[in-house]
Amino acid sequence: MPQKTQDIKITSVLEENFMPYAMSVIVSRSIPEIDGLKPAHRKLLYTMYKMGLLTGPRTKSANIVGQTMRLNPHGDAAIYETMVRLARGNESLLHPLVDSKGNFGKVYSRFMAYAASRYTEAKLDPICAELFRDIDEDTVDFVDNYDGTMKEPTLLPTTFPNILLSPNTGIAVGMASSICSFNLRELCETTVALIKDPDHDILSTLKAPDFPTGGYLIYDKKALSEIYETGKGSFRLRAKWKYDKKQSLIEITEIPYTTSVEAIKDKIVELFKAGRLKEINDVRDETDKTGLKLTIDLKRSADPDKLMSLLVSSTPLEESFPANFNVLIASTPRIMGVREILTEWTSWRSECVARRVYFNLEKMKERRHLLKGLEKILLDIDKAIRIIRETEEEAEVIPNLMIGFRIDEVQANYIADIRLRNINKEYILKRTSELEELEKDIAESEDILRSKKKIQKIIIKELEDVAKKYGKDRMTEILYEDTMEKTELSREVPDYPCTLFLSRSGYFKKITPQSLRMSGEQKFKEGDSLLASFESNNKNELLVFSDKAQVYKTAVSAFEDSKASLLGDFLPQTLGMDPGESTFAMVDPLDYKGFLLFVFENGKVARVDLSAYQTKTNRRRLTGAYSAKSPLAAVIALTGEAEVVLFSASGRALSVKSSLLSSKPTRDSQGVQVMKLKKGDTVASARLLSGTSIKEPGRYRSRTLPALGAVLRPQDAGDPSFLPE
């Protein structure tokens, strides 16, 4: 008999299965916490700490990996990969947490693979002493490991804001985190300044992010301010190179943190094969144990500045770093700016310091209590000896001491455990002399716990010590915009004719005449078709109008040569259009001497000079590209006067001379009423009269405007879509 199937609601499956998985990935795997570590990092480092690798000699990495599996059951490969990234040899961190020996690969190379764990050795780097300081003094909470056989810390009590020191990326479910690294000295200085003054200008001390791969950071104050305040944004990183005039070669020695030397080399080779780098003879990856080096051999006639300007704009020699400061605070993901992160860290660190002071205070109180009992024995040592000697049963020694000296059980046990050789006045006087100093320390600790400022002073002192002991100069040099304007040269764009194609779905193709002659039928996605095509030049600009009254300015040269057999570039994605925005029209403005006709569905037509879209700055997007009062039906670009035909959805046509329309200098002009429309009717499209199949245009002309036009005859329609249903 067939088995009965049970209907299960998808919402129940999501709530019971997917949501717990998503929360586990977010909270227990991908997003770093306020100590700057993910769980995998913390479990590995704590295991190494418990193995005595902070002060002891290195041990085999395989041994560390095996021990870590007591806390992290995700497999040895994942644990070792975590160690590799933290290792000094990999160069992923400004301040490595693992002191490594052997081949740990390189962060800037995808081909320099790390050796197996049985060949490498490791221990904790000295800076880890700041991560584990006072961890045994109840500064952080401990929880059971996955099988309840041992305890592990929920956080490490770092004495500096490690969350902003180590570059950290993670992809969770429905969210991600991407935290750039900062210079330790600048970071400590900024944290101290913020503790003293919450309104401190962060940019004045924390100049910009810093990366272990060096290179340049293109300084954009507005972009950095946005990242510092909101925790989201991006900035540009650029490679560093030097030119050897004698040997006619360029050596690239530092690259952006987000790329690899192989990715740069592959792109240079691709451009060379495409014939765009005729100044190059050869490119070689000469990276070795001494560090990164990518060498480019130049022809004697080559201009190195122009070449590097081209390579910077066309290869990963310059890349953006997308910042997304998503941090777990009390198991809740929060996107925070630098100020908020440092404030949260200071608050958390204050709690750690307070817990440490309280822990030591309780220890001192216990010690004081014992010494108070010992002090009473000083009054009559012989009595204590007599009580112990005359007590017949061992179990009665403690009670008898308690009665004889009026002390409690803890004090009596302490006295009873003193060795016989120490029951003398000298020993007892030395111990009891500690009381005075102990009382001072207890009073000081209690004073600290009552004072927020004194706790902050302790944090400031620790930060200053860390900066002095471990601080070092910046690796990534800051490149200011005014300096760039003096050194950068404009990219030489190849000059050749091409034909441009745009589909209704927004796919764009640039095809050379040679390729077009050899091509067959243009390829489109299913349900897509050609919207516009015209001849242009690789040096020309393009205006791409969207359906949201915006225009995107780009260059034809920004797109690679394509073929008819390819779909092309998807413009909404390439141009960074807003969600839900799509392409509507594509225009070649040439020298911006002509004008545009915007035909709206309500029958109005606006004539706008092309010069209204010419900008002095390199703005990629212009809002208010045309009036948004009515949906757009067509955009027609003209360099001279022409006749345009408007087609209504009801099947009427009206031919109008563009000279009858006056030009407007403003882009958002609503235009003038040209075509009268009956209720419920709209303008469906418009095109140049020369591009239609109309044989007798006089039939569709009118002496006055606005006009209804005439019913479109079948023989004039050409395109069946112009006829009414």
- Considering only CA atoms, which of 55, 208, 215, 238 is closest in space to residue 132? 55
Domain boundaries, the chain: 37-157, 240-316, 344-469, 497-722
- Considering only CA atoms, which of 123, 102, 156, 2 is closest in space to residue 51? 123
Tokens of 638: 């003209």
> Cα-atom radius of gyration of the chain, to the nearest Å?
38
Tokens of 200: 């401190």
Give 501-569 as a DSSP string. Answer: EEETTSEEEEE-HHHHHH--SPP--TT--EEEEEEEETT-EEEEEETTSEEEEEEGGGS----TTS--E
Exposed/middle/buried for 3, CB within 10 Å: 0-12, 13-18, 19+? exposed
All residue ranges of the chain with pLDDT < 50 are 1, 485-490, 721-725
Exposed/middle/buried for 578, CB within 10 Å: 0-12, 13-18, 19+? exposed
- Considering only CA atoms, which of 329, 322, 353 is closest in space to residue 343? 329
Active site residue ranges: 119
**Cα–Cα distance between 5 and 2 in angstroms, integer?**
9
Instruction: Find out whether 631 and 675 touch, Cβ atoms under 8 Å.
Output: no
**Cα–Cα distance between 135 and 141 in angstroms, integer?**
9
CATH of range 240-316; options 2.120.10.30, 1.10.1740.10, 3.30.1360.40, 3.30.460.10: 3.30.1360.40
Topology of domain 37-157 in CATH is Topoisomerase II; domain 5 (3.90.199)
What are the helix and strand counts (H, E) for the chain?
20, 34
Instruction: Find out whether 157 and 135 touch, Cβ atoms under 8 Å.
Output: yes
Output b/e per residue, 20-42; b: 16+ Cβ within 10 A.
Answer: eeeeebbbeebbbbbbbbbbbbb
Q: Which residues are CB-neighbours of 566 under 8 A, at least 6 positions away? A: 509, 523
**Cα–Cα distance between 166 and 130 in angstroms, integer?**
14
DSSP label of 149: S
| Backbone torsion region of residue 370, taken as left when φ is above 0, otherwise alpha when ψ lies between -120 and 50, otherwise beta | alpha
Cβ neighbours around 19 below 10 Å, total: 12
Q: Where are the beta strands (DSSP E) in 225-267?
A: 232-238, 240-244, 249-254
Instruction: Find out whether 478 and 208 touch, Cβ atoms under 8 Å.
Output: yes
| pLDDT for position 26 | 58
**Cα–Cα distance between 286 and 112 in angstroms, integer?**
12
Tokens of 618: 């390199």
**Strand, helix or coil at 655?**
strand
| pLDDT for position 420 | 72
- Considering only CA atoms, which of 104, 166, 178 is closest in space to residue 130? 166
> Strand 663-664 relative to strand 604-609: parallel, antiparallel, unpaired?
parallel
- Considering only CA atoms, which of 133, 197, 123, 205 is closest in space to residue 164? 205
Q: Which H or E element spans position 40?
A: helix 39-50
> Strand 232-238 relative to strand 318-324: parallel, antiparallel, unpaired?
antiparallel
**Cα–Cα distance between 492 and 144 in angstroms, integer?**
63
Domain 497-722, CATH homologous superfamily name and number: DNA gyrase/topoisomerase IV, subunit A, C-terminal (2.120.10.90)
Q: Which residues are CB-neighbours of 626 under 8 A, at least 6 positions away? A: 545, 549, 551, 598, 606, 608, 632, 635, 667, 668, 669
Instruction: Find out whether 232 and 270 touch, Cβ atoms under 8 Å.
Output: no
Give 263-298 as a DSSP string. Answer: HHHHHHHHHHHTT--TTEEEEEE--BTTB--EEEEE
Tokens of 52: 């005595």
Tokens of 421: 């050789």
Considering the segment(s) 344-469 as one domain, its CATH architecture is: Orthogonal Bundle (1.10)
